[in-house]
Amino acid sequence: MIYIRIGVFLFGLMVFSLGISLTINVQHLGIHPWDVLNVALFERVGLSIGSWNIIIGIGLICVSLILDRTHVKLGTFLNAVIVGSFVDFYLWLDFLPKATHTWTDIIIIVAGIVIMGVGGGVYNAAKIGSGPRDGFMLSISDKTGYSIGSIRIATELMVLVIGFLIGGPVFIFTLIFTFVQSPIFQYVYLKVTEYLHEMEMRKEQQGA
């Protein structure tokens, strides 16, 4: 069953990365706060957007290891490397629709947000390990006693401000990202979790 969970985890990461890449192509409408920072660093410093995703992810994992190792697993490291690598790979393939600066861009970015929500729900349901950003926020929440929601808002707001100040793409969809993505994430997460649990139960019954 662990191999199925690993497969689900990897599939979820690939889907999640696809959603990120899609939103980056229409970044003038605004993208997720963490991606605002990645794009800003890419434009200011160089390297690639995926590389900054990996670098920041590894940095957050290091902080999490210092604060609380509980939330850092093998999947956390895989998440940091795979997502950044696939974002660069998808952008390099250059097959995703690009910005036209018309109403169709709204369809593209909404599709990207939905895909990110689906991918995030899938890979988290596999329970191989939380992402470096989630692990970082969970670690801070555990140490400070503040709610996860409060820590998420404060962290993403800080990241957004930093990204904006160094030239990252911030617009209306940056602000509504969470409102669209979170419900989709939750729905998919619960459904996939339930499905994997049922598979495990059937396997146990067959082996009994």
Q: pLDDT tens-digit profile of 69-79?
A: 777 888 899 99
Asked whether residue 118 is domain-assigned, the answer is yes
Three-state secondary-structure class, residue 26? coil
pLDDT of residue 198: 85
Tens digit of each residue's pLDDT (9 = 90 or more) over 149-176: 778 788 888 888 999 999 998 888 888 8
Asked whether residue 86 is domain-assigned, the answer is no
Asked whether residue 100 is domain-assigned, the answer is no
Asked whether residue 25 is domain-assigned, the answer is yes
Asked whether residue 97 is domain-assigned, the answer is no
CA distance 182 to 176: 10
Here the contacts of 66-74 (C-beta below 8 Å, separation 24 or greater) are: 67/139, 67/140, 67/142, 67/143, 68/138, 68/139, 68/142, 68/143, 70/139, 70/142, 71/130, 71/134, 71/135, 71/138, 71/139, 71/142, 72/129, 72/135, 73/128, 73/129, 73/130, 74/128, 74/129
Could you tell me the two tokens for 21?
């890449």
Q: What residues of the chain score a pLDDT lower than 50?
A: none
Asked whether residue 98 is domain-assigned, the answer is no
pLDDT of residue 20: 95
Owning domain of residue 155: 2-81+105-203
Asked whether residue 144 is domain-assigned, the answer is yes
pLDDT of residue 51: 95
pLDDT of residue 18: 97
pLDDT of residue 133: 86
Asked whether residue 91 is domain-assigned, the answer is no
207 vs 5, 7, 124, 200, CA distance in Å?
A: 19, 22, 27, 11
Please count the structural domains in the chain: 1
Say if CB 193 and CB 185 are below 8 A apart: no
Cβ of 85: how many Cβ atoms within 10 Å?
17
